[in-house]
Every structure is written in structure tokens, then in C-alpha cells.
Amino acid sequence: QVQLVESGGGLVQAGGSLRLSCAVTGRFFSIDAMGWYRQPPGKSRELVATNSSGSTNYGDSVKGRFTISRDSAKNTLSLQMNSLKPEDTAVYYCTARGGGYVYWGQGTQVTVSS
């Protein structure tokens, strides 16, 4: 019923930038937190960044390079990714928490080439 739709993924060269976005659609009660996680090939899902009540938290590997932003009124989320590295290659997932539930998007592929 609640859907999270990511966009903005693609192929980029090392050192380049991408901006991911996530939109929440469908029927929901409220969203109190949103975030981004990623899953590199052959590895487990890991934290990229979260936003909750105006506070942000970043994974160590992306600090200083990625910036998360949220429009709470529209329940949209963005991730600005700068200085991308090949090790940033992963499927990036948007997540939202609200009404006692956690929702996940379908993921968007980000590939960083050398």
C-alpha cells in the first residue's frame, strides 16, 4: 500500500556526483524517519545515512562526501553523492519508518567506474 520509489541511480565515473531521490506514495499515517542503505554486490546491506527529527547520521565511509536531506512535509528524501568511488557501487535503498512499520523501496543501482 505504501510505496517508496527511488530514482537517480546510474553509471558515473570515479570522482563524479549523483543525486538520488525517494518519494513516498500511497496511504500512510505518518513518517517519522527516513534513510538510505546500500548493498554492494556480494555484501550485506549497510547504513548510508538517516534523517530523524531533523538529526542526521552517516556511515563512516560516506562522511564528508554524501549529504542526506528530507522534506518532511512531502515525505521525500534525497541523497547527494559527491566524490564517488568505485567502492560506492551498490544497490541503494530508501527506507521510511512510520505508523509502527518500516518500508523499503525497490532499490536503485549506482555503479561507479574507474
* Alpha-carbon gap, residue 111 to 38, rounded angstroms: 12
- Cell 518532511 belongs to residue: 72
Q: What is the pLDDT along the chain (114 residues), one digit of tens a residue?
A: 889 999 999 999 999 999 999 998 887 778 889 999 999 999 999 999 999 987 999 999 999 999 999 987 888 999 999 999 999 999 999 999 988 899 999 999 999 999
| Grid cell of 27 as nine digits | 496511504
* Alpha-carbon gap, residue 56 to 99, rounded angstroms: 21
* Alpha-carbon gap, residue 97 to 89, rounded angstroms: 25
Residue-level pLDDT at 31: 85
- CB-CB neighbours of 45 under 10 Å: 15
Our CA angle for 105, 81, 13, nearest 5°, is 105
